[in-house]
Amino acid sequence: MTVRVRYAPSPTGEPHVGNIRTALWSWLHARHHGGVFFVRIEDTDQTRLVPGSADRILESLRWLGMDWDEGPDKGGPFAPYTQSQRLPLYQAAAARLIASFDAYRCFCSSARLEELRNEQRANHQPPGYDGHCSTLLPDEAEARAVIGEPSVVRFRMPDEGATSFTDLLRGEITVENATLDDFVILKSDGFPTYHLAHVVDDHEMQVTHVSRGDEWIPSAPRHVRLFEALGYEVPVYVHTSVILGPDGGKLSKRHGAKAVLEYAQDGYLPDALFNFLAITGWAPDGTTEIMTRDEAIAAFDFAQLNAHPATFDVPKLDWMNGMYLRALPVPVLAEHFAVWLERTLPADVPRPLDRAFVEEITPLVRERVKLLADVTPLVDFFFASDPTPAKADTLLGKPYASRPEVAVATLHAAATALEGIDAWEADAIETALRGAAEATGEKVGDLFMLCRVAVTGKAVTPPLFETMAIVGEETSLARLRAAARVAATE
């Protein structure tokens, strides 16, 4: 039997990480078993559709490097792959269920249903439909529908007994039928609910494994009953655990969780987020954390997933992203840096950036970067066209705050020493500055920091001597002299 799994999102907004993790696990399972992974857009709730959402869902998958074998943009043997284009299938299934007495038309108004809910709340009863229309004779119900009286179609749940199903992660689950009401499968506008639509499509599209969040466990008995009433084989259910925030609460943006494409905008690599999501709730051997896609595919199986909730660990994701960045060859990492810098440097910096220059500075900062967003504040001074010394309070710092005249003399001494070197290279720059410190009687660390802030405008930078070598002799000396003028104003 060929494994066939689907990712079936509703285009009602940006795909969040929990939703995409379910898709990612399905993709891994399909690829591990040499099966089929396809995308189906479930857009039957027309009131909640968000324009452009379906496109962003597909873009999120592409960015993460997850291909699909069939889908709305590719077609396939079970096209169309958008539910709003498959309405006749659902309407025919509903008609079959009515004919077999497994479903019935319900003409209850929204006002009656609201009154029923209020009464149930007042009596401390669980909410649910009371079966008011379940005793209508089929001919009477059909006659009322023919003349245009609004109605929905409800599935008739048994009053007695229990419904059982097996979840791959949790074993057998049994629910008493008396706790489940008759639920809507076809709305008055002719569109199906999720309950009916996914059952029909999973059968028609030969889905072997249904992977979805564990919030769907209470609804699973209804779906099993639908499969059985329609004469369909029930697929393997895999109800995956939720992802919680570090505080144990529901995952949200305050925990650092974002829509997938926001991670791209914030400087994460797709391979890092893919790896992070794959192991958030899955540990193939209990210790491995960094995994290539091929390694993840080789190791993955639905049965290995953890049934307990996982925690969304942003520091771990940042660490992992840094590991992936540092593992890139310098030319590849430099290209990532260049693209990011072109997005974020001031508008007066000429574009496109010189790739050779970016590649030259990349080794200086690669160990300091966890996100692509980290690179800009580390290297922006390399691209400043004019000397821009720091403000006096930043420039002078603690060693020189009370003696700016010493800072002026020290900066001039450093510039003079540097003017005398033969080759503008890191080793020669270091030697000259150490000589200036000895000549002035200043601590080496204090002089280095003074020069660092003078040349870069920052107290935290890549290594000083390599930085000055790349900034260049003319610019470095100009910035030292300009900084001395700033210090002299204090």
The domain in which residue 317 lies consists of: 253-326
Give the span between the Cα atoms of 431 and 426, in whole angstroms: 9
Tokens at residue 430, please?
Answer: 């270091």
Sign of CA dihedral 262, 264, 268, 272: positive
pLDDT at position 322 is 97
Question: Who's near 214: CB < 8 A, 6+ residues apart?
Answer: 239, 240, 241, 242, 307
For the segment 169-186, the average pLDDT, to the nearest whole number, is 96
Are 318 and 339 found together in one domain? no
Spot the catalytic one: 74, 187, 250, 253: 253
Are 99 and 230 found together in one domain? yes
SS3 for 410?
A: helix
CATH of the domain at 454: 1.10.10.350
Residue 312 domain-assigned?
A: yes
Residue 39 domain-assigned?
A: no
How many domains does the chain fold into?
4
- E strand intervals along 204-292: 209-213, 236-240, 243-244
Are 128 and 226 found together in one domain? yes
pLDDT at position 369 is 96
Are 464 and 355 found together in one domain? no
pLDDT confidence tier of residue 196, bands split at 50, 70 and 90 = very high
Are 397 and 457 found together in one domain? yes
User: Mind listing the pLDDT tens digit for each residue in 381-398?
Assistant: 999 876 566 677 778 888
Are 221 and 309 found together in one domain? no
User: Mind listing the pLDDT tens digit for each residue in 279-323?
Assistant: 999 988 878 899 999 999 999 999 999 999 999 999 999 999 999
Are 350 and 410 found together in one domain? no
User: Mind listing the pLDDT tens digit for each residue in 318-332?
Assistant: 999 999 999 999 999
Q: Is the pLDDT assigned to residue 490 strictly greater than 80? A: no
Residue 132 domain-assigned?
A: yes
Partners of 171 in the β-ladder: 167
Q: Is the pLDDT assigned to residue 461 strictly greater than 70? A: yes
Query: What single DSSP character describes residue 148?
Result: T
Which of 422, 340, 414, 330 minimizes the C-alpha distance to 373?
A: 340
Tokens at residue 310, please?
Answer: 């996982």
Q: Please state the pTM of the whole predicted model.
A: 0.91
Single residue among 311, 344, 376 that ends a domain in this structure? 376
For the segment 335-353, the average pLDDT, to the nearest whole number, is 96
Single residue among 240, 265, 300 that ends a domain in this structure? 240
Are 104 and 142 found together in one domain? yes
Residue 440 domain-assigned?
A: yes
Annotated catalytic residue 370: no
pLDDT at position 388 is 61
Show the DSSP H helices in 8-64 as ranges: 17-32, 53-63
Are 357 and 397 found together in one domain? no
Which of 53, 44, 48 minimizes the C-alpha distance to 11?
A: 53
